[in-house]
Amino acid sequence: MAKISVLGAGSWGTALSVLLNNNGHEVRLWSRFQEEVDTLKQTRELTSKLPGVHIPENIDLTADVKNCVETAEVIVLAVPSPYVRGTAELMAPYVKDEQIIVNVAKGIEEKTLMTMTDIISEEIPAAGVYVLSGPSHAEEVGRGIPTTCVISGPKRETAEYLQGIFMSPVFRVYTTPDTLGVELGGSLKNVIALAAGTADGLGYGDNTKAALITRGIAEIARLGTKMGAHMETFYGLSGMGDLIVTCASVHSRNRKAGYLMGKGYTMQQAMDEVKMVVEGVYSAKAAKSLAEKYDVEMPIIMEVNKVLFEDKPASDAVRDLMIRDKKVEAPMLPAQTRGFEKNI
């Protein structure tokens, strides 16, 4: 049994707290807001986001960040990506050398273009920072529906230790050394999901969504490999797996926001309607900046930015994607096979 503090009492933090408690660990769940803690203690349920998911009595609910950090063997940082840096700053005075922090937020900081683990490491250099990611909606994890994720970080032994902490009959965890690939896949898929949701809102069909998913992962992989990540990661759980679930699921806040924009909502109106942090909106500008920095062609990402921030009609964005110059689907194939001398 491990002493685990989960910082962030939103849907994902709450679902992971329930999972870890069911795995036999001693769990504290922290919120920055005492009023939220008091409500959760009374209801033992996050009624607005996880209705029907009971928070067991032995999960300690608290607003005391000092106690949460100082007593934990493992800290799970589960605040939305825009709040990761601020929460890391709040934690920093109480973190011990080599204390394990597992980030579960998905995003890229717009101003610095840093991943979440890089931000945490910058704010808390003494910590050992890991990431848990994959196709994992909180609504399903909280209800014990079988889910599979991947964990990555600097030390294999610690990653395997964390793998054991999270694994259960309903939550399978793999390990990988490719932390950058895991974080890029988890962050950039949210931007593609906005596009997929917008296509749904416009009334387009499965053909369109399949194209956005497959061409979207091609864009993510192009950028990721240029930055030093491994191609295989983008066709695994934290890449293609997370992209599929985020583009297709009714639980996806990014898809829902895109759907509303396809129906004519403004970006702000869509975010207000979703009532949760739409991390794809925050990552879109960062993704565009990374594409420009590394000179990588990412047409879907660029069109999403135009819809979000330049008021371009979504239907025009789809049309412009369709009428671009002719391309080879897989330019990484050997040149002689692209000449069609062989059957491939």
Q: Which of 3, 66, 106, 189 is catalytic?
A: 189
User: What does the alpha-carbon distance between residue 235 and residue 189 come to, in Å, rounded to a whole number?
Assistant: 12
Neighbouring-strand partners of residue 110 = none
Do β-strands 74-77 and 3-7 pair in parallel, antiparallel, or remain unpaired? parallel
Q: If 0-12 CB within 10 Å is exposed, 13-18 middle and 19+ buried, where does residue 51 land?
A: exposed
- Nearest residue to 100 via CA among 121, 86, 122, 81: 121
Q: What Å distances lie between residue 263 and 141, 174, 207, 219, 270, CA to CA? A: 30, 38, 19, 26, 10
Q: 189 catalytic, yes or no?
A: yes
Q: Are 286 and 109 in contact (CB under 8 A)?
A: yes
Q: Are 57 and 42 in contact (CB under 8 A)?
A: no
H-helix segments, the chain: 11-22, 34-43, 65-71, 84-91, 116-123, 138-141, 156-166, 179-201, 206-227, 231-234, 242-248, 253-262, 267-274, 279-293, 299-309, 314-322, 335-338
Mention every residue, 6+ apart, whose C-beta is less than 8 A from residue 293: 113
- Nearest residue to 287 via CA among 266, 277, 309, 302: 302
Distance, C-alpha 44 to centroid of its chain: 26
Cα R_g (the chain), whole angstroms = 20
Which H or E run includes 175?
A: strand 171-176
Mention every residue, 6+ apart, whose C-beta is less than 8 A from residue 152: 130, 131, 133, 159, 175, 176, 177, 178, 179, 182
> Any idea which residues carry the catalytic annotation?
189
